[in-house]
């Protein structure tokens, strides 16, 4: 973060200062006292199980210069606010605006939202833009999904005067979330990927999800660009919400898309290749370049097109976009990470999160990678926050497993039981579909039953904790993860 005095922090967040006003924050902004170091700002967030205020003294003892808290803390340099989380967002908004004002347009913010594909698209954008930034020190695109009211401000607060690009992921589970995040970090380029049913339990309807994702359109800076998925009707219709000063660019596979993929093919390893076609204004024709993705799964074509469209708007050439997409790799863990074990088992670890759309895409990729010569094994956990449609959604996944001719289904946990039920109803018989109650049982069974040549997919919502199983299966008899 840029250096700020305690007085400047208090002014930025509207807080009451209980510290020497000249104390200076020179280190990072943190919410975990274990990450404290000299000059840090510790934000004391209340949690479900622990209260950050209880760890403020430890953070200061480790060198933190200042604490952002909801109450006075005896003997500790503190800025007191009504809500530390809200103040965190206000501080991030202030810091970004300050750096932008001093950068004369050199700092560009790109933000990605959508029901699926946010993290992968963010990671692809980071790799497309790093050479333009002049190196990794001038671009911020964090690994993982720092996309909520805490993670996004913490990411934004990494900005310094040397930063040229900030690539952000914006998640939502309620109407108004994207509007709030874009107020903290108004994007120069805002990307909307797809409207699905993720978090529908909180939203109440797909229409509410579409409304929330559409908040990105009005959240871009004046004169900015919004990038929309032409293959998703709900997303394409968001163009009608764009201000007259906003440029709308579309991506997809349909002929009318500004940036599109043509002649898509998928190799036996599940990697897609295509011709990238980019329309140009007037009678200038179009530009074309070939792309061969390293990412596993044909669904990544859409993510690659979204990243390409944003990068093109930021000045990267078509040739460079295609070249960099073709060399881009998975950056965040547990997202279609493929490990080839020495014993001949291939593990596809996509266990970070799941919803019906991403589950279907992963299963289709498993079927492609296994082909007709290898045994396909799907290890699936529950998909969360689906509301009243949860049983039907899980049932549908079980039926798809059978239709894709997946050879072995292992369903883990009570919240995923209806996947097993759907497979049985669709025609799975004998031991083709197995239900196990917990991770330990699944681990023991898979360690015993997996054979050389098997291709194993591990996928579930984050709360199912199947990432632990993905790590275990990837490391069995393995000294190197090929995707790390």
Average pLDDT for residues 156-161, to the nearest whole number? 96
Average pLDDT for residues 438-442, to the nearest whole number? 97
Amino acid 435: pLDDT: 98
Interval 140-157: pLDDT, tens: 998 777 889 999 999 999
pLDDT band at 186 (very low <50, low <70, confident <90, very high): very high
- 331 compared with 381, residue with greater pLDDT: 381
Task: Tell me the average pLDDT of the chain.
Answer: 94
Interval 292-311: pLDDT, tens: 999 999 999 999 999 999 99
- 222 compared with 479, residue with greater pLDDT: 222
Average pLDDT for residues 401-424, to the nearest whole number? 97
Burial of 46 (0-12, 13-18, 19+ CB in 10 A): middle
Contact 202, 240 (CB under 8 A): no
- 272 compared with 281, residue with greater pLDDT: 272
Strand ordering across the sheet containing 455-459: 337-340, 346-349, 455-459, 376-380, 408-412, 433-436
Amino acid 406: pLDDT: 98
- 162 compared with 282, residue with greater pLDDT: 162
Amino acid 476: pLDDT: 65
Contact 41, 47 (CB under 8 A): no
Task: Compute CA distances 445 → 212, 428, 450, whole Å.
Answer: 42, 19, 8
CA–CA distance, 348 with 460 (Å, rounded to integer): 12
Percent of the chain with pLDDT over 70: 97
Interval 422-437: pLDDT, tens: 999 999 888 999 999 9
Average pLDDT for residues 376-404, to the nearest whole number? 96
The answer, yes or no, to whether residue 167 has pLDDT greater than 80, is: yes
Amino acid 482: pLDDT: 39
CATH architecture of 4-82: 3-Layer(aba) Sandwich (3.40)
CATH number for domain 88-327, candidates 3.40.1010.20, 3.40.1190.10, 3.30.1330.10, 3.30.1390.20: 3.40.1190.10
Amino acid 480: pLDDT: 38
pLDDT band at 479 (very low <50, low <70, confident <90, very high): very low
Residue with tokens 């669904």: 299
Amino acid 481: pLDDT: 39
Task: Write a three-state SS string for the chain.
Answer: CCCEEHHHHHHHHCCEEECCCCCEECCCEECCHHHCCCCCEEECCECCCCEHHHHHHHHHHCCCCEEEECCCCCCCCEEECCCHHHHHHHHHHHHHHHHHHHHCCCCEEEEEECCCCHHHHHHHHHHHHHHHHCCHHHEECCCCCCCCCCHHHHHHCCCCCCCCEEEEECCCCCCCHHHHHHHHCCCCEEEECCCCCCCHHHHCCHHHHHHHHCHHHHHCCCCCEEEEECCCHHHHHHHHHCCCCCEEEEEECCCCCCEEEEEEEECCCCEEEEEEEEECCCCCCEEEEEEEEEEECCCHHHHHHHHHHHHHHCCCCHHHHHHHHHHCCCCCCCCCEEEECCCCCEEEECCCCCCHHHHHHHHHHHHHHHCCCCCEEEEECCCCCCHHHHHHHHHHHHHHHHHCCCCEEEEECHHHHHHHHHHHHHCCCCCCEEEECCHHHHHHHHHHHCCCCCEEEEECCHHHCHHHHHHHHHHCCCCCCCCC
Q: Nearest-5° angle of CA 159, CA 163, CA 166?
A: 70
Burial of 389 (0-12, 13-18, 19+ CB in 10 A): middle
pLDDT band at 283 (very low <50, low <70, confident <90, very high): low
The answer, yes or no, to whether residue 483 has pLDDT greater than 50, is: no
Nearest to 193 by CA among 235, 255, 248, 152: 235
Percent of the chain with pLDDT over 90: 87
Angle, helices 118-133/300-313, rounded to nearest 10 degrees: 40
CATH number for domain 337-475, candidates 1.10.1060.10, 3.40.30.10, 3.40.50.720, 3.90.190.20: 3.90.190.20
The answer, yes or no, to whether residue 477 has pLDDT greater than 70, is: no
- 414 compared with 330, residue with greater pLDDT: 414
pTM for the model: 0.91
The answer, yes or no, to whether residue 48 has pLDDT greater than 90, is: no
pLDDT band at 206 (very low <50, low <70, confident <90, very high): confident
Domain limits of the chain? 4-82, 88-327, 337-475
Considering just the CA atoms, what is the radius of gyration of the chain in Å? 24
**C-alpha 128: how far from its chain's center?**
16
């Amino acid at each position: 973060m840029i250096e700020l005095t305690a007085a400047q922090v208090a002014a930025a967040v509207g807080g009451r200062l209980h510290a020497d006003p000249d104390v200076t924050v020179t280190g990072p902004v943190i919410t975990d006292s274990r990450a404290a170091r000299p000059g840090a700002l510790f934000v004391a967030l209340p949690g479900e199980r622990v209260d950050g205020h209880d760890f403020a003294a430890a953070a200061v003892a480790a060198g933190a210069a200042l604490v952002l808290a909801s109450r006075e803390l005896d003997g500790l340099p503190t800025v007191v606010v009504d809500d530390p989380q809200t103040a965190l967002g206000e501080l991030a908004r202030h810091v970004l605006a300050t750096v932008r004002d001093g950068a004369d347009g050199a700092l560009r913010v790109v933000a990605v939202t959508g029901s699926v594909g946010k993290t992968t698209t963010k990671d692809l954008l980071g790799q497309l833009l790093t050479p333009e930034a002049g190196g990794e020190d001038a671009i911020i695109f964090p690994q993982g999904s720092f996309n909520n009211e805490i993670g996004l401000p913490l990411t934004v607060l990494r900005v310094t005067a040397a930063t040229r690009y900030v690539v952000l992921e914006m998640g939502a589970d309620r109407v108004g979330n994207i509007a709030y995040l874009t107020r903290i970090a108004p994007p120069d380029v805002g990307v909307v990927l797809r409207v699905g049913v993720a978090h529908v339990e909180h939203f109440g309807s797909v229409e509410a999800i579409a409304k929330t994702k559409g908040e990105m359109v009005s959240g871009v800076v004046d004169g900015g660009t919004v990038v929309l998925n032409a293959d998703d009707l709900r997303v394409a219709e968001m163009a009608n919400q764009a201000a007259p000063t906003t440029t709308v660019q579309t991506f997809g596979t349909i002929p009318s898309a500004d940036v599109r993929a043509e002649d898509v093919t998928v190799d036996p390893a599940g990697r897609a290749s295509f011709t990238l076609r980019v329309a140009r204004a007037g009678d200038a024709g179009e530009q074309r370049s070939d792309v061969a993705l390293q990412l596993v799964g044909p669904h990544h074509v859409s993510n690659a097109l979204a990243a390409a469209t944003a990068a093109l708007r930021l000045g990267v050439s078509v040739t460079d976009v295609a070249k960099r997409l073709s060399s881009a790799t998975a950056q965040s863990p547990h997202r279609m990470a493929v490990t080839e074990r020495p014993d001949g088992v291939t593990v596809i670890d996509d266990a970070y999160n799941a919803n019906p759309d991403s589950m279907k895409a992963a299963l289709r990729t498993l079927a492609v990678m296994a082909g007709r010569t290898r045994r396909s094994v799907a290890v699936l956990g529950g998909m969360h926050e689906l509301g009243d449609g949860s049983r039907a959604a899980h049932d549908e996944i079980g039926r798809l497993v059978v239709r894709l001719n997946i050879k072995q289904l292992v369903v883990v946990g009570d919240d995923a039981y209806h996947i097993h039920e759907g497979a049985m109803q669709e025609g799975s018989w004998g031991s083709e579909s197995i239900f196990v109650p917990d991770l330990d049982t699944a681990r023991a069974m898979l360690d015993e039953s997996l054979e050389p040549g098997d291709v194993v997919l591990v996928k579930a919502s984050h709360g199912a904790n199947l990432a632990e199983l993905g790590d275990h299966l990837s490391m069995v008899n393995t000294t190197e993860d090929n995707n790390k």
